[in-house]
Structure 1
Amino acid sequence: MTSIFPARKAPDNLPRPVHWASNAVCRTDHIHPDTWFPIPTDLAGVAYAKSLCRRCPVQMRCRTDALNRGEDFGIWGGLDESELQAVRRQRRNAALKQAAQEKQAAEAQDALAPAG
């Protein structure tokens, strides 16, 4: 029996692309990781973390990644926990509205189709 896969694999010595997070402000040595997880009632801590995010070159990528992963805690892409929840809620409501519109359009199309 012959395989469609080659008997040998290519060497794994090709350069890998740099991960987007390597350019993030939060990856610098002088910022303690706890900075990104302030107590939500610590307004000064939240404001400080958000101010660091505002100057980050990958802020939007970080935000998108956190929203897609469902991060519930910390500051991600310049948004705190309640703001991340609000964006997820808006996305969910928009998706539900879109699904309802598509269902309504499909039902209207079915109603116009001749019975056969």
Structure 2
Amino acid sequence: MTSIFPARRAPDNLPRPVHWATAAVCRDDENHPDVWFPVPTDLVAVEYAKGLCRRCPVQMRCRTDALNRGEEHGVWGGLDEGELRDVRKVRRAAAAKQAAREKQAAQDQQDAGELAKAG
């Protein structure tokens, strides 16, 4: 069944924004993909990958994206697997602390409302 109304779609002739990862050092053909996934105990290989990340123009975007996606393996945004795990742990602790503060504030507000009704 066809509608009498035209389909409402965005025009497909608009230029698409360039993805940030196209400027990343890891997209360079000089580096084999295995460089970014070294054996965690191979400190030389891990430091080599992190060194490449340090000269990358999109290092922070990569790091943020990897943390948001929950990457568990490899070097992302200059952080190795252990460092990514540590940052996620700190983020979780901060989120839990913020949630506890918000819960306490809501409880305080509720208590104040009850006192106002009683008084």
Structure 1-normalised TM-score? 0.91
Corresponding position of 2:25: 25
* Cα 1:10/1:71, change in 2 over 3 Å: closer
Written as runs of structure 1 = structure 2, the 5 A alignment for 1:58-73 is: 58-73=58-73
Residue 34 of structure 2 corresponds to 34
Alpha-carbon shift at residue 6 of structure 1 (Å): 2.6
Alignment of structure 1 residues 1-116 onto 2, 5 Å: 6-7=6-7, 9=9, 11-113=11-113, 114-115=116-117
Q: Which runs of 5+ in 1 are unaligned?
A: none
Query: Which stretches of structure 1, 4 residues or more, deviate above 3 A after TM superposition?
Result: 1-5, 7-11
Unaligned runs of 5+ in 2: none
1:97–1:3 distance in 2 versus 1, CA, 3 Å: farther
Q: Deviations over 1:43-89 (max 9, x none)?
A: 00000000000000000000000000000000000000010011011
Question: 1:16–1:104: structure 2 CA closer, same or farther, 3 Å change rule?
Answer: same
Query: Residues 8 and 92 (structure 1 numbering): CA distance in 2 closer, same or farther, change over 3 Å?
Result: closer
- How far the C-alpha of 1:3 sits from its partner, in A, is 5.6
After the TM superposition, which of the residue ranges 88-97 and 105-114 deviates more from structure 2? 105-114
> RMSD value over aligned CA atoms?
2.2
CA distance in 2, matches of 1:64, 1:8: 34
